[in-house]
Amino acid sequence: MKLSAILLLSFACILPAQSTRPLTVDQFPNGDPSAVSPLINVAPQAPAHAEGADALPSQKIGPGDLISLTVSDCPEMSHNFRVSSAGLLTLPHLKEPIVAAGKEPTEIETEVTDALIKGEVLVSPVVTASVVEYRSVPVSVMGAVKHPVTFQAVGVVTLIDALARAEGLSTDAGAEILVSRPNAPGAGGPSLVQRIPIYKLTVEADPTLNVRLYGGEVIRVPPAGKVYVVGNVKKPGVYPIQDGNESSIFKMVALCEGTLQYTSKQAFIYRREAGKDQRNEIPVEIGKIMDRKSPDVVLQANDILYIPDNKGRRLTSQTIERIIGFGTATGTGLLVWH
């Protein structure tokens, strides 16, 4: 009798522990929880893990973005969904799409939760939303950079960050950067363009010029203007204007490493005026400029600077050299002309 009481008490202690163990849906007969007693504790089925990469920093959603949803007790909705070009998010079990464009992931969670309850799909859903891929915030960098690129402005992105993505400026970069920003939705007119001096941004490190980028910007780095130098100089060629849209004759002669012998005292600038096919010829007194007796002359982008030689002086010098050479060859050392 005592042994039977002990066994009965032991069985009574074990039975509650087994009956309170959580069960999942797949452990029920035919997968139907209603087939067993309602006294049994049923654990909710874990939602399917959303596909895709880790969540990105939270910011406003736009067309083309990839959203990861996790909905408790609804594996059909626990997947990745792409926002349409119209900014809508179409989900299973919901009759109407969710307007996603311009909203944060937390707002999407609230709207999906309300829609599931309103549509009598779930009684008390738990919804989490995150962004696994952005396509709605592109930033393009082009022009005089080492590697033109288009990327998504995820998180805090500045102008310096964008230039770093493009691997920096190329050697022929001009003096400024043009940042074009899109207009507000519904606003007409051309996009806003901000001009940023490269020297102040990179050398002086002015923090006000390192503007933040939110997506939709186009960053253009125009190449430096060029001046063409030809004629009686040591290194004729094409020279970029690195410090702005203007240079000068004195600077260009320095870049050419100076003039050769017998340079004419007068040079010429050939400049094309707006709306004209022919270039105007502008004479300048280069001799006085190089001797600092006359002010320097400004050169503009695409100017041609022609520095001729003094043919008369060169001819005289060549004649003297020939006479001296002839005298040395004849042994007289001197010729007297009558």
- pLDDT one-digit tens code per residue, 195-236: 999 999 999 999 999 999 999 999 999 999 899 999 999 999
Backbone angles phi, psi at 223, to 5 degrees: -70, 155
Question: What pLDDT, on the 0 to 100 scale, is given for residue 97?
Answer: 94
Find out whether 257 and 235 touch, Cβ atoms under 8 Å. Answer: yes
- Residue 105: Cβ within 10 Å count: 21
Question: What pLDDT, on the 0 to 100 scale, is given for residue 285?
Answer: 94
pTM above 0.75?
no
* Angle 308-314-315 from CA coordinates, rounded to 5°: 125
Dist CA 284 CA 24 (whole Å): 93
Find out whether 66 and 133 touch, Cβ atoms under 8 Å. Answer: yes
HSE (side-chain half, CA atoms, 13 Å) at 74:
24
Whole-number CA gyration radius for the chain:
40
Residue recorded with tokens 């087994």: 18
Q: Measure Cα distances from 17 to 14, 28, 70 in Å.
A: 6, 18, 32
DSSP per-residue letters across 233-262: BSS-EEEE-TTSSEEEHHHHHHHTT-B-TT
Question: What pLDDT, on the 0 to 100 scale, is given for residue 315?
Answer: 59
Sign of CA dihedral 59, 61, 66, 71: positive
pLDDT one-digit tens code per residue, 104-114: 999 999 999 99
Dist CA 185 CA 175 (whole Å): 32
- Residue 41: Cβ within 10 Å count: 10
pLDDT one-digit tens code per residue, 158-173: 999 999 999 999 988 9
Structure tokens at 61: 């959603």
Q: Measure Cα distances from 105 to 5, 66, 127 in Å.
A: 60, 11, 11
Best CA proximity match to 130, nearest among 77, 80, 93? 80
Dist CA 102 CA 97 (whole Å): 15
Best CA proximity match to 73, nearest among 111, 47, 98, 110? 47
Find out whether 268 and 306 touch, Cβ atoms under 8 Å. Answer: yes
Question: What pLDDT, on the 0 to 100 scale, is given for residue 40?
Answer: 34
Question: What pLDDT, on the 0 to 100 scale, is given for residue 59?
Answer: 87
Residues of the chain short of pLDDT 50, as ranges, are: 1, 3, 5-53, 327-328, 330-338
Best CA proximity match to 280, nearest among 263, 295, 302? 302
What are the structural domains, with CATH classification, of the chain? 66-133 (3.30.1950.10), 138-221 (3.10.560.10), 226-312 (3.10.560.10)
Residue recorded with tokens 């959303």: 50
Best CA proximity match to 173, nearest among 151, 153, 193, 201? 201
